[in-house]
Each structure stands twice: as C-alpha cells, then as structure tokens.
Chain A
C-alpha cells in the first residue's frame, strides 16, 4: 500500500474520448506541498488530467490515488480536493462571503467557525471588506481571488487550478503569479496547476510536467526542463530553442552548412542519424569569443527590440536561422553595433548545446 508520502499518484492512467486518447499512460507522483504544473499546448490533455483528479472524469484505464487512497469510486463532492476554475465559476446569486462559505456549509461546519475561516481566507487573498459584494460588482482579478478563497477555505489536501490567470491582463497576471506562489508557500497545500504559458510555469513551479497530445514528454524542475530539455518538443515549447537540424558525424554533429563541431551526444545516436542541435539564445555570444567556444558565421536578418533585450536573428544558410539574445545594458546597445545585413560570428560553449532526437 502506498503511504501518504504522495499527494497524488497517477498509475498508468489513460483517458479516451472515442478512439483517441486524451491522456496516454500518465504515470507520475506529486509530493505533498509541491507546486506542480501541467504545461502544454491546447489539447495536450492537461485539463482532462485535472478533471480526473477532481472527479469530473473517470480514467479509461489505470488508477488515481489521492493521499494514498484510490479514488475511482469517490464522487467529486467527497474528494479532499478543490478546484479554481478558469471562468471563476462564482455563484452569482450569492455574495462573496456566502460564496466562500459554500464548501464549509456543505460540511456542516459550525457557523462561528465558518465566520472565522471566511475572514481568514479573504485576508489571505486580500479581499477583506468585500464580504457583501456580489460577483457582478467585482473585477476579473477580484473574482479570481474569491474563487481562490472559496477553494482554500476548505483546507483541501490538493488545490487544482485550471489556467486561473488566463483571463487577466499581463501586469495583473504577473502580480497574481507572485501572490499565488506566496500563498502556496504560506498554506503549504499541494498545488496542481494547469497552464499553457511556459513562463508562468517556470516562474511558479517546483516541478513541471510538459505534455504533448496526451503524453508527458518530460517531468522535472524548471531548470531541468529549460536547460536540459529531453527532445525537440520540450526544447521548442519552453523558451526559444534554436533547433538546428543536423546529422551525427564522427562523435560530433554536422550542420547542413557543412560546419562540424563537437557536442555531447545522447547514447543511442548512431553515425549518420538525424538529430537536432539546440542552443538557448542567451547562451550565444555575438562577435565575442572565449576559449573552447564553437563558432559559426551568419548574416543578421532581423532585430527585435523587446525592451530588456534585443533578439538578433541570424541566418547561417538559407532557411537555417538562430536567435541570439543581447542584453540592452547601458554600456552598449545593439543597434549601435549591428545592422541588418551585417556578417556576424556566433559562438557558444559546446556544453551549452544539446543534441536532441
């Protein structure tokens, strides 16, 4: 029997709608107190997974365990999880305090306790004073906080969040990300967070499961997933990846441009096989070198100024492009140095490059 060392455990869970699997052989565990994100594009199965944990869908195969207990016979209203929905799903005919108190009332908690806990919960999400407001009087961000308070007040073992910040504008979203992370640390509840925004996942999570078409491509810390992506999908989905098609040759790789250099090869790569060479843009140096760096030449075809940095897009050969990132530090601005059409030399340390299949 499994101990409560795992908050959630997916045991070879598959969910099919018709013939197509929405979730395919999901097999992982989430630790108590962890901020765990399911990250992927639409249709990858992350929301379906969440709904299975909540109890709105049943797995076609496999089992789900909450705090060590199997839950396939447990309806949503008996599970020790609560959900924060993307559309907030507030009860329009109830005011804020009744919304938040809803779960507690269903469990017949004593009304004095209810009052106390609702007050606490609203303080936690910084909505004290809005108890009597109706949902229609609140802004999007405020509604989201009510939804959060309503879920947290029940002190569930796991909090499920389905793209809760999707409808908010950028600034508010960034602010809420920080707040959510803080709240999670404070209450210590396991968060299972679904998002398609990889920056969000990287910023908030202890661990991320990157999903594509029902499968988990990689599960690891933000750093692992970013710096050591396992495969072109993860490399491409998280950040800008610069995937260059190449072939394995002589223990290194050869680009279509003809250049060859050393790179760490994964074990199963045989001579001549097709691979991708992946380098993160911030690891690429422009017209500067250190010893041991690999370098290639190219022509600048585009510069994209995004405030803190400038993305410099360099074409190595027709159709083969790399994106490099330059900090717009005070001492040198990129447009002082390079123009479109300039020839430039790109360099990186070989260990910063990844060979992916």
Chain B
C-alpha cells in the first residue's frame, strides 16, 4: 500500500494518450457491468414491495394475475373489528414508546455528555448493550421478567419492552448532536444572565430540537414496525399489527395481508418524509436525514 500512497502523492502528470495495452481491461471494473448490476439490484429490492402493493388492489383473490382494480381487501381490513383494534393498538404503543423513550433517552444523552462522574462510564456501556443485543434475546428477557413479577402480558407490557429497546437509539442520536454543540454558546448564555435551567430552555434545547424530533420519529417508526419484541410480550388482544400479519401468514397468503402490508408501508413512508421535512418546515437549515446521519446540512 505504501507504494501506492507514494505514487498517489506525486503531482498529477499531464494527461497523455492512453497507453496501448496488450489485453483489454476486464469487465469487472468497467462502468458497463456495474450500473447493470446495480440496476438489477434495485429491481430486486423494490419489485417485491411493489408487487405486494399492486396486488393489494387486486379485484380477485389471485396473487398471480392482476384482474382489476378494487379496494375490496382494504374494505375487509377496516370492517374487521379486531384488525382495526390492532391498528389502533400499534399506534398507541408507538406513541407512548416515542414519548417515553425520547424523554428518557434525551435525559440520558445529556447526562452522558455533561456528567463526568464515574457512573457515566458504566451508564454509557449499559446504554450501548441494547444496540448490539439481538431482538430475540431482548424479547425473551422481557418475557421472563414480566412472568417473574407476575405482570400479565398486555399492551402495556409491549410498550415497556419497546421503550427499553428504543432508549438507546434516542440517546445515540441526541448525544451526537449535543456533543457537537459549541460549549461556549451555553457559557455565553450563563454569562449574559440566564440560569442553568434558563440556558437549557432558551439555548440548548432549541439547538438540540432537530435531533430530538428525528429521534422521536425514528422511535415511532421502529415501534410501529416491530415484530419480535411484540410477539413475545403481547397479550391476547388486542395484538399489535405486525403480530397479526405474522399469524395471518402462517395460515396462508391472502390479499388482505397485502392490504395491511401496504398500509403499514404507507405509514412508515409518511413518517420518514415527516422526519426529513419537519425541521425544514420549522425553519431550520438542516433536514432530519442529515441530523440522523450527523451532518449539519443534508
């Protein structure tokens, strides 16, 4: 590699006509193969989803032939009371998870960046472990806990499990933003007469706002879509929507599942859009996407 680096450090030579080579360059690196491959990749990625959406509007039960346009399967979804309840349940769970995890996670992020006590180090590790824990492990341990303390499985147990798993995501996002803030700005606020609480309110939180919003929406989306945690910690009824989808698939494929899937897809898409647009709508320069990825402008 050092030979290459040395070579790269040399000043660029004047463009010379391409030297004649004895064999033609292999197709691997040639732009012809790559774009085709990438195009195929995108088709491979999007086609199944597109087909699910397409067949959710099919007028017949077939998943092989598209006979005509119809909202039949959506009608069936909305007429099914228990499915409606599941949709509402998923939204409730996601909302509560979003609020609680964002609050807890933001506080934790603040503490991790500002506090220099010896607890901060251990708390940091504790916060990172859920991020690398497989969902099934987290789900199983939640189930064991609830059973051990005698808490019957219900919507609330799902919420608690979701919150536990989401706190770390919020903390990571908010912490990145917080650490990037210029500490002198807060000192300036103190210097000019704002108390610590006032500084928090008037200076820190407004600067932190895009990150908090992005983290909140991320949490909502993760919770709404979550399956494994919900599966292990849900009660009898109502069950979150992904659990219903799972049970339905076990029985067999029907376009109703397509309809549910398409709806969930739409909700997720709207959330992402919201996450990206909201900071801009509120007059900030950054977009939510940029905040999540840690840049000032996306």
Contacts and interface: CB of A to CB of B under 8 A. Distances in A.
A–B contact at 8 Å CB threshold (below):
yes
Interface of A: 54-56, 75-78, 81-83, 85-87, 89-93, 102-103, 106-107, 136, 150-151, 154
Contacts of A136: 285
Q: Which of A81, A86, A106 has the most CB of B within 10 A?
A: A106
A76 B194 CA distance: 9
A157 to B, nearest CB: 13
Contacts of A82: 191-192
Nearest to A54: B191
A107 B192 CA distance: 9
Interface in B180-226: 182, 184-185, 187-195, 198, 202-203, 206-207
A89 B190 CA distance: 12
A337 B223 CA distance: 84
A192 to B, nearest CB: 13
Nearest to A103: B192
B207 A102 contact: no
Interface in B148-195: 182, 184-185, 187-195
Given A91-B203, A93-B206, A93-B207, A83 B194 contact: no
Interface string B8-26: 0000000000000000000
Q: Which of B190, B195, B202 has the most CB of A within 10 A?
A: B190
A89 B193 contact: no
Contacts of B189: 91, 102
B203 A106 contact: no
A81 B187 CA distance: 13
A85 B190 CA distance: 13
A76 B182 contact: no
A136 B284 CA distance: 12
Which 10 A-B pairs give the minimum distances between C-beta atoms?
Answer: A106-B193, A103-B192, A89-B184, A89-B188, A76-B190, A85-B184, A93-B206, A89-B185, A83-B191, A77-B193
A253 to B, nearest CB: 48
Given A106-B193, A106-B198, 5 more contacts: A81-B191, A85-B188, A92-B207, A102-B202, A136-B285
B184 A106 contact: no
Contacts of B206: 93
B187 A83 contact: yes
Contacts of A55: 190-191
A154 B192 contact: yes
Contacts of A90: 185, 188
11 contacts: A54-B187, A55-B190, A56-B187, A75-B195, A76-B187, A81-B191, A85-B188, A89-B184, A92-B185, A150-B192, A154-B192
Contacts of A81: 191
Contacts of B203: 91
A10 to B, nearest CB: 19
A292 B161 CA distance: 93
Given A83-B188, A85-B187, A107 B207 contact: no
Contacts of A106: 192-194, 198
Nearest to B209: A93
Contacts of B207: 92-93
B184 A77 contact: no
B186 to A, nearest CB: 8
Contacts of A93: 206-207
Contact of A77 (B185, B194, B285): B194
Contacts of A78: 193
Contacts of A83: 187-188, 191
Contacts of A154: 192-193
B72 to A, nearest CB: 50
Nearest to A82: B191
A91 B188 CA distance: 9
Contact of B191 (A76, A86, A107): A76
Contacts of A85: 184, 187-188
A152 to B, nearest CB: 11
Interface in B91-135: none
Contacts of B188: 83, 85, 89-91, 150
B190 A87 contact: no
Given A87-B182, A89-B182, A91-B203, A77 B187 contact: no
